[in-house]
Structure 1
């Protein structure tokens, strides 16, 4: 026994390891079994939760609407690769359609409008020629008797077949000649010194018929009574565009035209061109034949007023003067305002709203055709319409003949829309600033920031 104890003492480490190692293996197995169970249960729980989430997951697929009032197409379902690809293709197609619509509307709105003086706007290509180009532009829109230049507006009226009634002086002369000749004939036939009542009635009828015949002849030569005299510079008070503008001989020589004025003249020209084009369309049948006044929809343009852009230009003497504007800028992205009009549209960062007032003599039966023509020509909407009677005999005395149909006087308030996507690149920087459109300088500051 002593030998055994002695051996154990001399080999104590071996004896301890012999006891500890098996014990630790047994205890490790016991505890590891418990740990494995806890880990397994935790992992099973996590896997179960993840599976439940995947199983209950749903994706909302959306195809956006394009038009106001149109509902977007939505579908909520579990993720599906085929469905995802389908909705992706449909969204891309919608995007292409929207882009195409925008491009088409812009083309429709721009029509054939170009700058009358492209070397001057939006900025002079050659600054040393700026002043002469400004006066050249003024001569185009206002006319210049010294240069023998007619206003471009004369050409616009001519293009729609417009003209005036018979020349009043020539008509009066013709009527007086007829009166003298017929009076002499009647007096010679009666042998008296004065016309009898019957002869006076006959003479009055002859003169009336001659006046009507002259007016009818003129009405067959033109499509609508209109001309520079139709422009009204007071329709919107001090916010009315002066068309044509004051000519060079009438304006103060020390104040040269500003770029802002030049752009305003060009813009007014676009507005007037569209309005007159719509009237011409109303007077033209589907086959392209333009009616004369007797058969036209619009027989006379008594008044035409254009609201100028909502900026007020002030120039100081000197060719290098800067343009200043009253603080009348338009808030970007402004919501519609129902108190403004039936459409509620106001100028925003996307477009400008310019109103036009018209007083027209119209065939009462064809009035709807005029409204259609406005919408077919450009982004124009009739906001208001007032109808009144026409004294056709008084107008006839002035040489205006409207035909046999029923006519009315129509006071029309028109709204025109001008998309800035194409107008802004033609604007001088000061005009952009006044309208709240970011200028190149502002873009540069943003880039530096």
Structure 2
């Protein structure tokens, strides 16, 4: 007891300390846990600060920078981003320039449409409203289509007269039954003048001779042409059917678009066939490029515009009123516009994957045109054709390829000699983009209203 009294103060202090510790850690629930949690937070903050000081910033064109994003670094990053944006804009400008090559020419502040390498300044009111000459364009357009077809067959007409071009184009298909019968009748007449024929009173040719005449004519056509080109292979606008019809401004614009796209396809075909002729096995000196030497044997049809509904294109062409289904793939719309309450403005992005593989349907920067190419081809040359097409312009995308084997006996029965290669009949669906930066200045008012474009399109700057 004496000992307790002597150390009472110390004992009381100890008891108080023990009670304090018990109260701190046990009765007040969670104090210990909170202390541990705060310690962990402080540890995490210290770790974050260390990582922040060692932060690496990657800026294009510069070495990686370490440390916190001080104003100098953020300024460099902003500069780099602006340079990237400027480069993207320049690429877009160059892309649009490439898109208009061989389609329009820019003279000062005017954009002038072209047919082939010829500028056509007097055929659309958006270009020159004072000198529009649709009848002259009609003649130029028909001649251009015939020359384009002849460039495929390789047949060279003696002159540029319309009748001469039409006659030459007929040589790019097998002889008709009428032509074969006419040749047989001509030989019959010549045979009937021979003395022995008069004596025998027999003007009939032997059957084998008639077969020989037909075979020779079919063979001559196959040798005279680089490939067969069907009479309706190149799309022709309806106003050509009526000699007195005056093409409307939308029809002239649509026919320009047809020609631009068909010209690229024709050049791609010619490129494939030229390569096939140059790389043929066992070439002979002076040998003429014939159908048998070509990889693409026959062009059946090129259809420009619409989503595959030829009736829509025909209806639009007959009326002279443009139709989004007749030329451009109709874009996603977002309601009526002041200029055209029947059509909506193009929705941002213009993406609709139910329409095509890419989903592109058109937007404020470009319009989409679908093109179908039907032809008979060596199947090993299909990818070569696609490569050649991509080289013609920077805005083509092949969406679909369908093929079916060609029966050579059936083809021969119809007068087609394709050579020793097993061929396929292929249909290729192509998406083409036309940038409004250069199409709007030459676009007729009807099309501008249809697409919700301001009445006066901007001119393309000379670059």
Shorter-chain TM-score range: 0.5 to 0.7
Q: Which residue of 1 aligns with 2:228?
A: 225
Q: Measured at CA, do residues 246 and 380 of structure 1 come closer, stay the same or move farther in structure 2, by a change above 3 Å? A: same
Q: Which of 397, 409, 419 in structure 1 is aligned with 2:413?
A: 397
Q: Which of 364, 369, 393 in structure 1 is aligned with 2:379?
A: 364
Q: Which residue of 2 aligns with 1:440?
A: 456
Question: What CA distance in whole angstroms lies between the structure 1 residues aligned with 2:379 and 2:212?
Answer: 25
Q: Which of 420, 441, 447 in structure 1 is aligned with 2:436?
A: 420
User: What is the CA-CA distance between 1:406 and the residue it aligns to?
Assistant: 0.8
Q: Which residue of 2 aligns with 1:134?
A: 134
Q: Which residue of 1 aligns with 2:92?
A: 102
User: What is the CA-CA distance between 1:78 and the residue it aligns to?
Assistant: 1.9
Question: What CA distance in whole angstroms lies between the structure 1 residues aligned with 2:431 and 2:455?
Answer: 27
- Given that 2:343 and 2:452 are in contact with CA atoms closer than 8 Å, whether structure 1 keeps it comes out as no
After TM superposition, the structure 1 = structure 2 runs for residues 34-433 of structure 1, keeping only pairs within 5 Å, are: 78-80=68-70, 83-84=73-74, 86-87=76-77, 90-114=80-104, 115-116=113-114, 117-123=120-126, 125=128, 127=130, 129-130=131-132, 133-141=133-141, 143=142, 151-161=143-153, 163=169, 164-168=172-176, 169-174=178-183, 204=208, 211-231=214-234, 243=237, 245-251=239-245, 256-285=246-275, 292-307=290-305, 327-328=342-343, 331-378=346-393, 379-433=395-449
After TM superposition, the structure 1 = structure 2 runs for residues 17-32 of structure 1, keeping only pairs within 5 Å, are: none
Question: What CA distance in whole angstroms lies between the structure 1 residues aligned with 2:180 and 2:416?
Answer: 12
Question: What CA distance in whole angstroms lies between the structure 1 residues aligned with 2:378 and 2:442?
Answer: 39
Q: Measured at CA, do residues 60 and 246 of structure 1 come closer, stay the same or move farther in structure 2, by a change above 3 Å? A: farther
Q: Does the residue aligned with 1:339 lie in a helix, a strand or coil?
A: coil
What 5-or-longer segments of structure 2 have no aligned partner? 1-48, 105-112, 115-119, 155-168, 280-287, 322-338, 459-463
Question: What CA distance in whole angstroms lies between the structure 2 residues aligned with 1:439 and 1:179?
Answer: 67
Question: What CA distance in whole angstroms lies between the structure 2 residues aligned with 1:326 and 1:425?
Answer: 23
User: What is the CA-CA distance between 1:340 and the residue it aligns to?
Assistant: 1.1
Question: What CA distance in whole angstroms lies between the structure 1 residues aligned with 2:66 and 2:342?
Answer: 50
User: What is the CA-CA distance between 1:354 and the residue it aligns to?
Assistant: 1.0
- Given that 1:215 and 1:396 are in contact with CA atoms closer than 8 Å, whether structure 2 keeps it comes out as no
Question: What CA distance in whole angstroms lies between the structure 1 residues aligned with 2:55 and 2:238?
Answer: 62
User: What is the CA-CA distance between 1:212 and the residue it aligns to?
Assistant: 4.6
User: What is the CA-CA distance between 1:58 and the residue it aligns to?
Assistant: 11
C-alpha RMSD over aligned residues: 4.5
User: What is the CA-CA distance between 1:213 and the residue it aligns to?
Assistant: 4.5
- Given that 1:282 and 1:370 are in contact with CA atoms closer than 8 Å, whether structure 2 keeps it comes out as yes
TM-score (norm 1): 0.61
Q: Measured at CA, do residues 441 and 179 of structure 1 come closer, stay the same or move farther in structure 2, by a change above 3 Å? A: closer
User: What is the CA-CA distance between 1:414 and the residue it aligns to?
Assistant: 2.0
Q: Which has the larger radius of gyration?
A: 1
User: What is the CA-CA distance between 1:174 and the residue it aligns to?
Assistant: 4.1
Q: Does the residue aligned with 1:121 lie in a helix, a strand or coil?
A: coil
- Given that 2:402 and 2:427 are in contact with CA atoms closer than 8 Å, whether structure 1 keeps it comes out as yes
Question: What CA distance in whole angstroms lies between the structure 2 residues aligned with 1:407 and 1:179?
Answer: 37
Question: What CA distance in whole angstroms lies between the structure 1 residues aligned with 2:214 and 2:437?
Answer: 52
Q: Measured at CA, do residues 287 and 167 of structure 1 come closer, stay the same or move farther in structure 2, by a change above 3 Å? A: closer
Question: What CA distance in whole angstroms lies between the structure 1 residues aligned with 2:81 and 2:180?
Answer: 69
Q: Measured at CA, do residues 326 and 91 of structure 1 come closer, stay the same or move farther in structure 2, by a change above 3 Å? A: closer
User: What is the CA-CA distance between 1:60 and the residue it aligns to?
Assistant: 10
